[in-house]
Structure 1
């Protein structure tokens, strides 16, 4: 009996080396597991190297033991507390540990989220609901709520306002002033203000708003005018940095009007995406109408999230990091990143031609910098040259209004960015500038391509 012919691609290698891959139509037939794995791997080979991506804040490296915990729990549905009660307990442990880290004064509550974007949506919804409760109890109208925040916030704050019908009162930035303080906020607050959002570690320059000053303003308003305006701290990036690098700098529940805090576990919490946390000062700060109870998974559970089913793996990975590192370990890692950020800043100063943004202030482990001379090339040219020549992803971008005439670059220093990486990047930046000096900047088409690429 004749044997069926063997597909050479199956015998000798990936058949998609010389065939088109499924891109539009649902494929009629499947393929071997090896072919599917190779197909996906070939696509991923065209992407950038995460270790050279200095634009992203998310974690790109975890210990093998943490990776094993993640791999072994990818199939576990976090929301099913009836079947997985220990996972629910571990979530609560993380919430209590973070509440302690943020100096919560007593019993508190919170939730794990997909990231800080979901946490911000939930925290801001609670601000709106609590404001509406206070107004209704006083017999006052509940139309036209507004939320005050600076131009230095993440875009999710504007998304919240648009999605949930809240007026955004955005404090514009100014050239040379890339965060906000009480004098900026005060003119925008009135009886319809549901809250003020302040940033701990901005995406743009890594600095923090004057959270102490804004809190003091809100305390005065409450005592003198009776306006109880809560303060939410967007600690997406800084919530896992300030407690360890600047432990004596108050920004959290040590301040009277700070009622809720969000933080991204998948940023400086050192967990792969996606995991975020929302922590309330006390249980009363969570509007009860936002909590739902369901029992169709076999047990009555209260849910307070925008999504439902999600994996347990990153919750467990966060708990692994908290118990693996503790305060001592997180402090050691944050200081190491900060040291390397300072080393990179020093190297850029030695190269010359760069202005460092707020280097002597409290800052995330990053270097924000800009060119002093734009006569021959600009920051977008440098970013393109670094990417084209050496594969570094160092973003160039304009700041929000009214500082949008300022273009800067930002190099984020993470746990797997070593001192050797610092020296190599500095040399590559210097070489990129020499190349641009010779050729008079990048070609316009090259710059345009970079500006239209994902991440820009």
Structure 2
């Protein structure tokens, strides 16, 4: 046997992956290679590169689910080739989507859950934009019917994440974002009404504000808009951004009125891959009534094998996350969701209490299930100089693999820096205790090695310009 043949055989042997010719040099980074390679070798190279990513279970910045049952992994593998948009080729996947829509409509107290409109999306951002477009179309139709101009629409929100900024920019809408002021970190009915006029297409409260994790007062805002309509005739609809809270409040705060029990709420979006516990890649938007979804937002597609209704912005997208959402609905039921989320709230409250005991920190939100999501956020106490900033603290924790973000607040509170933890399914009490030990070690490190950057009074109190 020639030496060349022996080398070829060696390269094909499973137990010599890292002695193969494929891995004797770096993989191409800028151009596609000319020759094919062993699947095992290429897998090993890419697998090794992915080790440089953070451990998603220690990522306490993300709202997204990072743990799933083995059956979910199996269903995702079985659904890898299912295209959600092709409802003729995959009718049962389409039926599963319809079941999820009806279940969510019922969960959110739709007056006619069986016949309402809704769909899955690639995430809550796409779902939010669909709800926003419906508000805009409905407002335009009313303005046209009244013979009034419709070229200056505006949208009122509290402090919102970037998807609503994108929506306003993409569709030429003035975003009237209510700034944080003093101790008020979310929208209030008074601030909403101050910004309403005949060009307001809608008001968007958030059930779980990105920055502080609190629920905005949906019912109080709706009542204020009812009063405004009585006084001025302005009938302004509401869309609730329930990206996180839509899968939390129904189970852990069932008496909180925020959903379709409020007639003015015409649509709700949520994220299935956050507290819906589904894998990444699924969101939902539901309208209160089929008539609340303008016909202009519905497309009928006949070139995939049948005449199919299409609402979403994206076209081809995976069906697996939708199937796994349905699995969670059947597997957990209301009892299971309540149990899992309640455990997350308990861990959040435990962490909040322990972090306050550390000394330099003051809690802004501590994980109260009646007023927000299972999370916590804090700042440095007024007048305290711990010898480090929250950015330094976050960097120190990152050295142990923890991602605990420090960031400045938006609008009029940009000078305030806070830190936040999201407690998702899989962030156990044991992991919480390990995090606390690392936090204590980080503070001990800074006591011995303080950051020698001069701190202004505002920076020492948790503020940063």
Q: Check whether TM > 0.5.
A: yes
- 2:110 is the counterpart of 1:110: no
Q: TM-score by structure 1 length?
A: 0.94
Q: Which residue of 1 aligns with 2:29?
A: 23
Q: How do 1:229-378 residues align onto structure 2 when only pairs under 5 Å count?
A: 229-359=236-366, 362-372=371-381, 373-374=384-385, 376-378=387-389
* C-alpha RMSD over aligned residues: 1.6
1:408-437 Cα shifts (integer Å, max 9, x gaps)? 111111111111111111111111111112
Query: Could you tell which deviates more after superposition, 328-337 or 31-40?
Result: 31-40
Cα distance between partner residues in 1 of 2:425 and 2:337: 11
Q: Which residue, 33, 51, 54 being the options, matches 1:48?
A: 54
Partner of 2:165: 158
* C-alpha contact 2:193 2:228 (8 A) present in aligned 1: no
Please state how far the C-alpha of 1:10 moved relative to its aligned partner.
Answer: 4.9
* 1:17 Cα offset (Å): 4.9
Match of 2:152 among 139, 144, 147: 144
Q: For residue 199 of structure 1, give the secondary structure of its aligned residue in structure 2.
A: coil
Residue aligned with 2:270, SS: strand
In structure 2, the partner of 1:412 is 422
Cα distance in 2 for residues equivalent to 1:403 and 1:142: 33
Question: Equivalents in 1 of 2:54, 2:375: separation in Å?
Answer: 20
What SS does the aligned partner of 1:263 have?
strand
CA distance in 1, matches of 2:11, 2:50: 20
The match for 2:7 is 6
Kept in 2: contact 1:181–1:211 (CA 8 A): no
Q: Does the 8 Å contact 2:360/2:386 carry over to 1?
A: no
Structure 2 length-normalised TM: 0.92
Once residues 145 and 287 of structure 1 are traced to their aligned partners in structure 2, the CA distance between those partners, rounded to angstroms, is: 17
Aligned to 1:450: none
Q: Aligned ranges for residues 18-97 of structure 1 at < 5 Å?
A: 18-97=24-103
Question: Partner of 1:432 in structure 2?
Answer: 442
Tell me by how many angstroms 1:375 deviates: 5.3
Distance 1:205 1:442 in 2: 30
2:129 matches 1:128 = no
Q: Does 1:176 align with 2:176?
A: no
How far apart, in 1, do the equivalents of 2:360 and 2:420 lie?
15
* 1:227 matched residue in structure 2: 234
Deviations 1:134-173 (A, max 9, x none): 11111111111111112x2111101011111111111111
SS at match of 2:205: strand
Q: Specify the SS of the correspondent of 2:180.
A: coil
Gap runs ≥5 in structure 1: 445-456
The answer as to whether partners of 2:365 and 2:376 remain within 8 angstroms in 1 is no
Gaps of 5+ in 2: 455-465
> Hey, what does 1:380 align to over in structure 2?
391
Q: Distance in 2 between matches of 1:9 and 1:433?
A: 50
**Structure-2 separation of matches of 1:183 and 1:43:** 52
What SS does the corresponding residue of 1:13 show, helix, strand or coil? helix
Cα separation, 1, equivalents of 2:356 and 2:299: 55
* Equivalent position SS for 1:327: helix
C-alpha deviation, 1:221, in angstroms: 2.2
Q: Deviations over 1:48-98 (max 9, x none)?
A: 111110001100111111111111111111111111111111111100100
Question: Alpha-carbon deviation of 1:18?
Answer: 4.3
Contact 2:240/2:265 (8 A) holds in 1: yes
| Distance in 1 between residues matched to 2:398 and 2:365, nearest whole Å | 25
Give the stretch that moved more between structures: 217-226 or 204-213: 217-226
Give the superposition deviation at 1:26.
Answer: 1.8
